[in-house]
Amino acid sequence: MEAATMAWTAAVVGAGLVYWFVWVMGAAEVKGKRAVDLKMGSITRDKVQDKYTQYWSFFRRPKETATTAASAEKVPAFVDTFYNLVTDIYEWGWGQSFHFSPSLPGRSHRDATRVHEERVADLLGARPGHRLLDVGCGVGGPMRAIAAHSGSDVVGITINEYQVKRARAHNRKAGLDSPRCEVVCGNFLSMPFPDASFDGAYSIEATCHAPRLQDVYGEVYRVLKPGRLYVSYEWVTTPLYHAEDPGHVECVHGIERGDALPGLRRQDEIAAIAKEAGFEVLKEQDLALPPALPWWTRLKMGRIAYWRNSIVIRVLTLLRIAPKGVSEVHEMLYETAQHLTRGGETGIFTPMHMVLLRKPPAAASTEEEAK
């Protein structure tokens, strides 16, 4: 009798744990995405494995993806595929803001993320009545934080239709839907906005997906009003990176492969590219340098969560609740996290090289003459 009771109790506890981890547990920061909701974006269930294989084949040698015009033209489509594959996993395991931020003493990761985003609004001098552009908005975490903090209206652009739907749903739940926060599906290399139509613009760890940074900066310059500001947080290699060091090369290639990057740029290239696009460079700063605390701490703390989530995903795949291929995507992201951590610890990589740029006021007369 006692053995039967113990077995029954164990079964109930086991079922309760499965229920908790699979059905109750939501995103790391904001509940709303559960393990059973992993859909792999707009990819149909039977195509997830194939799309992952195609993605991995294309980005196997990151530097080669932007060396020819033909391959560079394919990058946006594969970035779209990447975000179909990872968006639900990001929301489930990370939150609604797909970026890093320096750790803050005694503060949660969510607080640190919000402070990092609000810094953008402060740098732009954003205020009520302003219309800002979020270049590469994801599911809109930064957009909502910046709109709430500054009182500005924000328009976000993302290449991924599934992210548009997720962002709009989150905006409604937050009471920040249109016109406070609008989301447009489009390519930031050719944006569907009129010239000189925004009072400010920002990009948070998004322009790294562009084969040529000049093309993104040129588009931002075009849609920004003369005299207005643009802030970008760029993923770059630092002067500590040495191309002759095999360990450094493998680390950087691992970051590029696992994050749909057609090649990381050097830190010392960014200002020159901005000037080439016509901007004035007002400030440059690596926000990851001391006294900032490590941005990769959260990745290291997430190792236990990885094993837990990996088990959950495997069980869901076995039960055919999650589509085949999700485990491979999750494994790719874990391996990428190891490369990102190594890049942060060695100092050869930073995801937050901040540039504050201004479109010259004189551009107004130049644009008038061009008309």
Does residue 33 lie in a domain region? no
- pLDDT by residue (tens digit) across 138-189? 999 999 999 999 999 999 999 999 999 999 999 999 999 989 999 999 999 9
Does residue 11 lie in a domain region? no
Instruction: Quote the pLDDT of residue 302.
Output: 60
- pLDDT by residue (tens digit) across 24-55? 444 434 445 666 677 888 899 889 999 999 99
Does residue 39 lie in a domain region? no
Does residue 38 lie in a domain region? no
The pTM of this model reads: 0.88
Find the CATH number of the domain harbouring 266: 3.40.50.150
State both tokens at 274. Answer: 């901005």
Give the structural domain span for 215: 47-359
Does residue 366 lie in a domain region? no
pLDDT band at residue 310 using 50, 70 and 90 as cut-offs: confident
Instruction: Quote the pLDDT of residue 371.
Output: 55
Considering its fold, how many domains does the chain have in total?
Answer: 1
- pLDDT by residue (tens digit) across 233-254? 999 999 999 999 999 999 999 9
Does residue 100 lie in a domain region? yes
Does residue 110 lie in a domain region? yes
pLDDT higher than 80, residue 305: no
Does residue 201 lie in a domain region? yes
Question: Quick one: average pLDDT of 54-65?
Answer: 78
- pLDDT by residue (tens digit) across 317-363? 888 888 888 889 989 999 999 999 999 999 999 999 999 999 999 86
pLDDT band at residue 22 using 50, 70 and 90 as cut-offs: very low
